[in-house]
């Protein structure tokens, strides 16, 4: 399913449902291409979209996340709509038979790395070290509920929802542990995750994104202002901090105010577009 919104809408948008049943919206807002998944704000500045013609996979911002378009004729319709929106937004659209391998070499900045790259004091840590740092931290019931609701089973790996949840939980615990170091209380962290569940989804977020984005925000503004931003717009902690560095405090605050103001509209109105 795909909808290329017309000029009557507040912003040029593409709305689609991927092969896993997730509802995905790309919308040009304030000159930036922004991404929403299942009503949650995921990224405020998509600058590249890569598309694999062989299997329909799409990857944004060279590795921040990926999803797979529907099979059959609908795939071509979805890809064409996304390509058109990318052109309208003036961002890089790359199309090939398969997605190129990601290179996370030692020369990369820590914010661009995968799970194995460091999250504390410039020391390199692998997943085992991240898990050790999160040892003893339990997911609150509210977070467990959100995690369970996100599982549908893995089409590619042929996992049941319970098996997928088992695989996701260690990564979710690591992400949750990073949020607890930033938000002033567990209640505040829970509220953030309830507003944007992408924060604790290992297939959508990374510890380096949380730590790096928080670091960049504190370089831009006071800690009090940064906390206000991540309270209004928790999704900023699921974006690549490399891209965040290219913006300014005023833009970040304006985007946070926008997300905070229209979040209810997305839930009440945009979700209806998928029914």
CA distances to 29, 236, 250 from 13, rounded to whole Å, are 9, 20, 24
In a domain, 259, yes or no: no
> With 80 as the cut, is the pLDDT of residue 8 above it?
no
Q: Where are the alpha helices (DSSP H) in the chain?
A: 73-89, 127-133, 141-150, 161-180, 186-195, 207-220, 223-232, 241-244, 249-268
d(CA 177, CA 134): 6
Q: Residue 168: its pLDDT value, please?
A: 81
Residue 225: pLDDT band with limits 50, 70, 90: very high
Q: Residue 230: its pLDDT value, please?
A: 93
In a domain, 254, yes or no: no
Both 23 and 140 in one domain: the answer is no
Which is more confident, 139 or 272?
Answer: 139
Both 90 and 155 in one domain: the answer is no
Mean pLDDT of 44-51: 88
Nearest Cα neighbor of 189 from 152, 119, 137 is 137
In a domain, 151, yes or no: yes
d(CA 255, CA 30): 8
In a domain, 257, yes or no: no
Both 71 and 179 in one domain: the answer is no
**Which range of residues forms the domain containing residue 47?**
2-99
Bridge-based pairing state of the strands 57-60 and 65-68: antiparallel
Q: Is the pTM of this model over 0.85?
A: no
Both 94 and 141 in one domain: the answer is no
- The domain boundary, picked from 99, 128, 161, lies at 99
What residues does 92 pair with on adjacent strands? 48
Both 70 and 22 in one domain: the answer is yes
Q: Residue 161: its pLDDT value, please?
A: 66
Q: Residue 259: its pLDDT value, please?
A: 62
Number of domains in the chain: 2
d(CA 129, CA 119): 10
Residue 154: pLDDT band with limits 50, 70, 90: low
- The domain boundary, picked from 77, 99, 121, lies at 99
CA atoms within 13 A on the CB side of 256: 21
Both 148 and 177 in one domain: the answer is yes
Helices then strands, counting H and E runs in the chain, come out as 9, 9
Q: Residue 12: its pLDDT value, please?
A: 84
Residue 127: pLDDT band with limits 50, 70, 90: low
d(CA 115, CA 174): 10
Both 21 and 45 in one domain: the answer is yes
In a domain, 255, yes or no: no
- The domain boundary, picked from 76, 99, 122, lies at 99
In a domain, 225, yes or no: yes
DSSP assignment letter at 107: T
In a domain, 214, yes or no: yes
Q: Residue 187: its pLDDT value, please?
A: 95
Q: How does the average pLDDT of the chain come out, rounded? A: 77
> With 80 as the cut, is the pLDDT of residue 70 above it?
yes
In a domain, 149, yes or no: yes
Structure tokens at 239: 């974006």
Mean pLDDT of 190-215: 89
Both 70 and 128 in one domain: the answer is no
Both 128 and 231 in one domain: the answer is yes
Both 93 and 117 in one domain: the answer is no
Mean pLDDT of 129-137: 77
> With 50 as the cut, is the pLDDT of residue 271 above it?
no
Both 120 and 150 in one domain: the answer is yes
């Amino acid at each position: 399913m795909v909808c290329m919104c017309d000029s009557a809408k507040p912003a040029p948008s593409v709305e689609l449902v991927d092969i896993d049943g997730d509802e995905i919206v790309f919308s040009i807002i304030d000159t930036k291409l922004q991404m929403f998944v299942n009503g949650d704000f995921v990224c405020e500045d998509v600058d590249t979209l890569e598309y694999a013609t062989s299997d329909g996979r799409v990857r944004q911002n060279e590795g921040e996340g990926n999803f797979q378009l529907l099979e059959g004729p609908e795939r071509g319709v979805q890809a064409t709509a996304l390509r058109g929106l990318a052109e309208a937004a003036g961002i890089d659209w790359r199309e090939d038979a398969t997605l190129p391998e990601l290179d996370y070499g030692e020369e990369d900045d820590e914010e661009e790395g995968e799970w194995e790259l460091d999250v504390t004091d410039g020391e390199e840590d692998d997943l085992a070290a991240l898990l050790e740092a999160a040892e003893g931290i339990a997911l609150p019931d509210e977070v467990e509920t959100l995690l369970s609701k996100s599982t549908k089973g893995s089409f590619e790996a042929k996992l049941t929802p319970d098996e997928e949840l088992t695989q996701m939980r260690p990564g979710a615990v690591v992400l949750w542990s990073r949020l607890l170091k930033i938000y002033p209380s567990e209640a505040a962290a829970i509220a953030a995750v309830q507003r944007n569940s992408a924060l604790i989804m290992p297939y959508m977020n990374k510890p380096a994104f949380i730590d790096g984005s928080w670091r960049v925000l504190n370089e831009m503004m006071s800690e009090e202002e940064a906390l206000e931003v991540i309270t209004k717009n928790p999704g900023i902690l699921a974006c690549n901090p490399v891209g965040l560095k290219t913006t300014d405090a005023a833009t970040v605050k304006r985007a946070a105010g926008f997300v905070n103001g229209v979040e209810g509209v997305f839930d009440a109105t945009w979700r209806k577009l998928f029914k």
